[in-house]
Amino acid sequence: MKALILAAGYGTRLYPLTENTPKPLLPIAGKPIIEYIIKKINHLRFIDKIYIVTNEKFLSHFQTWLGSFSRNTNIELINDGTTSESDRLGTIGDIQLAIAEKMIDDDLLIIGGDNIFTGNLDAFIAFAQRKNPASSIGMVNLKDLSAAKRFGVVEFDSSSQVIGFQEKPEQPNSSFVSMCLYYFPQCKLDRFSEYLASGNYYDAMGHFIGWLSQVDEVYGCNFTEKWFDIGDKQAYYDAQKYFAGSRGCVNQAKQYIATRVY
């Protein structure tokens, strides 16, 4: 199995903090976000390679980080060639680029580079492999319809099959949201090129999942652990407080937020 970390965004909602630093390399309690993700992936013994797709603007940042990062899994960077929001390939475009450029012909675990969560991925992978050859997504119950407006909202039946998906709806009909965690069996990877060839929207993974759930089977695995999607300053602040507290450096985190974010 291969893993792909999505790290080609420009993080404009976190400016100025992300103006010259890619969001996955922002520190949470003294450690880059991406290292939390890699630790989760490394716990899965059957992942034999991790790809990180980034862009031309931030490629050197990731090269510098990777050069000093101690790892026990083969990690390779992919440059999507873009330099700004105006020419970006979008989430689905970056996934298809990675699949095509690296000729990925294996089951694929995909994680957003700005996702950070507690617990491990074992339960999700076990769920996904039980549902194979269907695709699977990770989801979280926010227990708040208003909060769900900011995410991709998932509807599912008693078998956990996704039967509806709304991307940032004004009136969510569920408080379950997608957490940018996906498992696609090898036999489903051609769905990305099929989706793009049909002229569908290239960004926001929720549009792809909504489409896929209508033409194929997709299942949702419920996460009950703590989850943060570092999409804006408040989410970054909340994650800093949570993880810094767990590592005994709350004051350090408060100072970092006060001087670097707000």
Q: What value does the mean pLDDT take over residues 211-216?
A: 95
Pairing of strands 218-223, 135-141: parallel
Structure tokens given for 242: 């949570």
Q: How confident is the model at residue 262 (pLDDT cuts 50, 70, 90)?
A: very low
Is residue 261 predicted with pLDDT exceeding 80? no
Tell me which CATH code domain 2-260 carries.
3.90.550.10
Q: Three-class SS string for the chain?
A: CEEEEECCCCCHHHCCCCCCCCHHHCEECCEEHHHHHHHHHHCCCCCCEEEEEECCCCHHHHHHHHHHCCCCCCEEEEECCCCCHHHCCHHHHHHHHHHHHCCCCCCEEEEECCEEECCCCHHHHHHHHHHCCCEEEEEEECCCHHHHCCCEEEEECCCCEEEEEEECCCCCCCCEEEEEEEEECHHHCHHHHHHHHCCCCCCCHHHHHHHHHHHCCEEEEEECCCEEECCCHHHHHHHHHHHHHHCCCHHHHHHHHHHHCC
Q: In whole angstroms, what is the distance from residue 169 CA to residue 214 CA?
A: 18
Res. 119 pLDDT band, cuts 50 70 90: confident
Can you give the pLDDT at residue 201? 80
d(CA 146, CA 168): 11
**With pLDDT > 90 as the criterion, what percentage of the chain qualifies?**
72
Residue 131 has pLDDT above 70, yes or no: yes
- The amino acid occupying position 180 is C
Q: Where are the domains of the chain?
A: 2-260
Question: Residue 62: which residues within 8 A CB-CB, separation 6 or more?
Answer: 7, 22, 25, 52, 54, 77
pTM, entire model = 0.92
pLDDT tens for each residue of 83-109: 998 889 999 999 999 999 999 999 999
For the chain, what is the mean pLDDT? 90
Give me the pLDDT at residue 245, please.
73
Average of pLDDT values for 198-226? 91
Strands 49-54 and 2-6: parallel
pLDDT of 250 reads 47
Question: Which pairing describes strands 49-54 and 75-79: parallel, antiparallel, or unpaired?
Answer: parallel
pLDDT of residue 255: 53
* pLDDT at position 149 over 80: yes
Q: Is the pLDDT of residue 82 over 60?
A: yes
Mean pLDDT of 182-202: 93
Half-sphere exposure in the Cβ direction for 226 (13 Å, CA): 10
Q: In this predicted model, what pLDDT tens digit does every residue of 19-62 receive, in sequence order?
A: 899 999 999 988 999 999 999 999 998 899 999 999 999 999 99
CA distance 39 to 58: 22
Question: What is the band of 258 on the pLDDT scale with cuts at 50, 70, 90?
Answer: low
User: For residue 257, is pLDDT > 70?
Assistant: no
| CA distance linking residue 198 with residue 95, whole number of Å | 16
Judged against a pLDDT cut of 60, whether residue 259 lies above it is answered with no
Residue 25 near residue 35 (C-beta atoms within 8 A):
no
| Burial status of residue 67 (CB atoms within 10 A of its CB: 0-12, 13-18, 19 or more) | exposed
* Position 216 pLDDT exceeds 50: yes
pLDDT score, position 71: 74
167-190 tens-digit pLDDT: 899 999 999 999 999 999 999 999
pLDDT at 105: 96
Q: Which of 131-140, 166-175, 230-239, 245-254 has the lowest mean pLDDT?
A: 245-254
Structure tokens at 252: 């350090």
